[in-house]
Structure 1
C-alpha cells in the first residue's frame, strides 16, 4: 500500500479501537440492549432511503443481521455492561477468526490449510491464557458473553460466505432492518418495562453522542475506508490493519481508565493476535491458485 492508504488504514483501525471506549462510556446508565437497539435503528434509517437493497433474499438479510449485528453486538454490549474491559473486549472478539475456520470446516467442508490450523491453535491457546490468567477484576460471565459475540460474528461470516452475499454498505444497512425491534424486545424482557421506559425518558446527550460515533465514524466512515482500501489493494494487505483496533482499545483503556492488562492477559492477547495474523496469511498454494506472484498476498474469502 502507498503512504496515503497506510494512513487511511491506520485511521480505520484507530476509529474501530476507540469505538470500544466510546461504547463503554456511552452505555453508562443505559440498558445495553436498548443502547444496541438505538445504534442499529440509526444504522438503518435514514441511510436506507439512499442505499439500494442488495440482491439477496430477506432470509439471508435476516440471517446476516441476526448473527453479525444482533448476536454479535447484543452479546458484546451485555458483556461490557457486565464488566468486560473495553480493551479486552476488542481483543477477545478477534477470536471470531478461529471460530470462522471451525464453522466453515464443519458447515461448508472448507478444510483449513496447515497455516490456518497453526494460527487457530495458537490463537485458541491465547484465549485460554487470557481466561485462566483473569485476575478477578472482571467476571467470567463477561468473558463467556464476549466469546458468544465472537461466535455469532463467525457464524454470520459463514452464512455470508455460503450465500455468496456481496459485501458492501448496502448489506450492512439493510441487514440492520431486522435488528432494532428484537433488541428492544429483549431489553424489555431482560431489564423490565419500567427500567427501559425510565432510560428512554432520561436519555441524555451522552448515549446519543456515543451512538453518533458508532454509526457515523465507526460504521460509515470506518467501513467506507475499509471498502475503499479493498478496491485498491489486496485484502490480506488491508485486513490485518483491523488488528490495530484491540491495540488502540487496550492502550486507550489504560490511558483513560487505568485498565492495564496483567501479564497473562497481555501474553494471551499477543498470542491471539499472532494466531490471527498467521491464520489470515495466505499459503503459497492459495497464491498459485489465484494466479498471484509468491510475494503478493491473496484476497481473503
Structure 2
C-alpha cells in the first residue's frame, strides 16, 4: 500500500470520526427518527434519478439497506439523542466487527482461527468495561445498549453486503439508501409526531439550525459519498486486510474531536475499555487478513501441484 493510499485511508478515518460530531449537531435541531429519514432521502432521490441499479439481487439491496441503513442509524441516532456522547458512540459502534464475525460463523459457516477469536474476546471485554462504567444509571446505560444495537444492525448489513458479491460498491451504497427513508418517516410520524417534525423546520436560520444543516450536509456529502467512495476505491486496489485496520482510527478521531470541540470527558475505566476494544478489533482484523492470505496461497498451490502431476503423468505415458 503506497504512502498516498495510506494518507487517503487516514483521511477517511478522520471524515468518519468527525461524522459523529456532525450527527450530534443535527440532533440539536431534528428529532432522531426523522433525521435518519431525512439523511437517506437526500441520498435516495439522486440514486433513483441518476444511478443505475447495481447488478446484485434485490434481496441483498434490501437487507443491506435494512441492516446498515435503517437499523444501524435508527439505534445510533436514538442513542445519541438519549445522551450517548459522540466520542463514545464512535467507539462502541466498532462492536460491529465482532458481531459481523459471529454472524458469519452462525449463518455463513465461516471458520474463525483461535487467535482471531482471542482478539474478539478482548474487544468484547473492552465493551463490557465501557458498559460497566456506564451502568451507574439507566440514563447512561440505555444509550450504550442502543448503540450496541446499532452496531448489530451494521453487522447485518455487512453480511448482506458480503453475500451480494457486488463489484459496484458505490452503486450498492447509493441504492441501499433507497430503503430507509419511508419506513423511518412512518416511524417518526408515529412516535415523534407531525407537530415535532414540523417544529424542527422552524429556526433553521438560527446558529443552532445552521449548524444542524451543516452537520446534515457533512453526513451526506463528506462522510457517506466522499468517505465511502474513497474507502471503496482503496478496497478495490489494496488487500482488505491492509485497508481495514485504518478504520480503528475512527474512534480515536471521534473521541479526541469530541473532547476538543464538545468538552466530552471519559473516565479512566472507559479509556481502558476503549484501548481493549481497539486492540481486539485491530488484532482480529489482522489475523483474519493473515488467514485469508494463507488460504489464497493454498488455493493457488493446489492447482499448480495438480498441473505438475498431470505433466509428470503425460511424460510417463510418452516415455512408455
What TM-score results when the alignment is normalised by the length of structure 1? 0.91
CA–CA separation in structure 1 for the residues paired with 2:275 and 2:95: 12
CA–CA separation in structure 2 for the residues paired with 1:56 and 1:202: 42
CA–CA separation in structure 2 for the residues paired with 1:47 and 1:222: 17
CA–CA separation in structure 1 for the residues paired with 2:8 and 2:165: 28
User: How many residues are treated as equivalent by the alignment?
Assistant: 292
SS at match of 2:109: coil
Match of 1:129 in 2: 129
Match of 2:106 in 1: 106
Q: Report how far residue 166 of structure 1 moved.
A: 4.0
Question: Which residue of 249, 258, 278 corresponds with 1:253?
Answer: 258
Match of 2:38 in 1: 38
CA–CA separation in structure 2 for the residues paired with 1:120 and 1:102: 10
Deviations 1:120-157 (A, max 9, x none): 10010000000112274861110010000001111121
Q: Which has the higher helix share?
A: 2
39-48 vs 234-243, which deviates more?
39-48
Residues 92 and 147, structure 2, Cα contact 8 Å, conserved in 1: yes
Map 1:132-147 → 2, pairs under 5 A: 132-134=132-134, 136=136, 139-147=140-148
Which stretches of structure 1, 4 residues or more, deviate above 6 A after TM superposition?
none
TM-align CA RMSD: 1.8
Residues 108 and 162, structure 1, Cα contact 8 Å, conserved in 2: no
CA–CA separation in structure 2 for the residues paired with 1:166 and 1:260: 42
114-123 vs 156-165, which deviates more?
156-165
CA–CA separation in structure 2 for the residues paired with 1:113 and 1:134: 32
Q: Report how far residue 8 of structure 1 moved.
A: 1.1
195-204 vs 153-162, which deviates more?
195-204
Residue 273 in 1 paired to residue 274 in 2?
Answer: no
Match of 1:220 in 2: 225
Residues 47 and 175, structure 2, Cα contact 8 Å, conserved in 1: no
Map 1:68-107 → 2, pairs under 5 A: 68-107=68-107
Deviations 1:210-243 (A, max 9, x none): 1111111101111121122223321111111111
What TM-score results when the alignment is normalised by the length of structure 2? 0.86
For structure 1, the residue ranges without an aligned partner over 5 or more in a row are: 293-301
SS at match of 1:282: helix
Q: Which has the larger radius of gyration?
A: 2
Q: Report how far residue 113 of structure 1 moved.
A: 1.3
CA–CA separation in structure 2 for the residues paired with 1:9 and 1:157: 19
CA–CA separation in structure 2 for the residues paired with 1:12 and 1:60: 25
CA–CA separation in structure 2 for the residues paired with 1:174 and 1:144: 29
Match of 2:292 in 1: 286
CA–CA separation in structure 2 for the residues paired with 1:2 and 1:29: 42
50-59 vs 161-170, which deviates more?
161-170
CA–CA separation in structure 2 for the residues paired with 1:128 and 1:174: 35
CA–CA separation in structure 2 for the residues paired with 1:166 and 1:148: 29
